[in-house]
Amino acid sequence: MAKLGDYTPQIIDKAIDFIASSQAFREYLAHQRKQDRVPDDIPTDKVEMYRERLEYYRQLYRPACVHEEETE
């Protein structure tokens, strides 16, 4: 049986991924301007992960017309 704190790193990673996804989705919906500022509650050792996931989700949440222009 795992100890209570054994899964904490995975939970933190999932939370950071969710924050990045939420930020990119708000930008996609034009509810928030694109910003590269890392939220204060992201641990310093996870900043690079946040930026990578944010860029991934920004690529994912793009209007279809942008995807079509890139394939032409």
Mean pLDDT, rounded, of the chain: 85
Domain ranges of the chain: 4-71
pLDDT of 14 strictly over 60:
yes
Task: Specify the higher pLDDT residue, 17 or 71.
Answer: 17
Reported as half-sphere exposure (CB side, CA atoms, 13 A), residue 24 has a value of: 20
CB atoms within 10 A of CB 20: 23
Q: Where does the pLDDT of residue 8 fall: very low under 50, low under 70, confident under 90, or very high at 90 and above? A: confident
pLDDT of residue 1: 57
SS3 content of the chain, % helix, strand, coil (to 5): 70, 0, 30
- What is the pTM for the complete model shown? 0.76
Cα torsion 47, 52, 53, 58: sign:
positive
Please give the C-alpha separations between residue 38 and each of 13, 20, 23, 26, 53, in angstroms, as whole numbers. 15, 9, 10, 15, 12
